[in-house]
Amino acid sequence: MSMNTTATDAATAAPAWYELALCAQTGPGFFFPEPGSSLRDAKRLCGACEGRKACLDYALTNDERFGVWGGLSESERQALRRRP
């Protein structure tokens, strides 16, 4: 492995938890469905994932506004951010 990484490489690299995450084994459409589509299956998969907490922490830290992250929808993450 090369030690000559650039800032761009580091910024675009997947987080460490992602390699083991169940979402890495599915398509993005599953976690970023069309408006009005059910999120039930994505949330169910998240519930069985070891990386769920790290994923949610990542989404909250990086202000991810779309899709299912850590088992929560956009509106659920927004409500969580508003809690004191």
Residue pair 71/46 in contact (Cβ under 8 Å)? The answer is: yes
Q: What is the pLDDT of residue 11?
A: 52
Q: 3 pLDDT exceeds 80?
A: no
Residue pair 79/71 in contact (Cβ under 8 Å)? The answer is: no
Q: 35 pLDDT exceeds 90?
A: no
* Euclidean distance between CA atoms 82 and 64, whole angstroms: 15
Q: 10 pLDDT exceeds 70?
A: no
Long-range contacts of 1-7 (CB under 8 A, 24+ apart): none
Q: Which residue has the tokens 């890495």?
A: 24
Which of 20-24, 46-50, 79-83 has maximum average pLDDT? 46-50
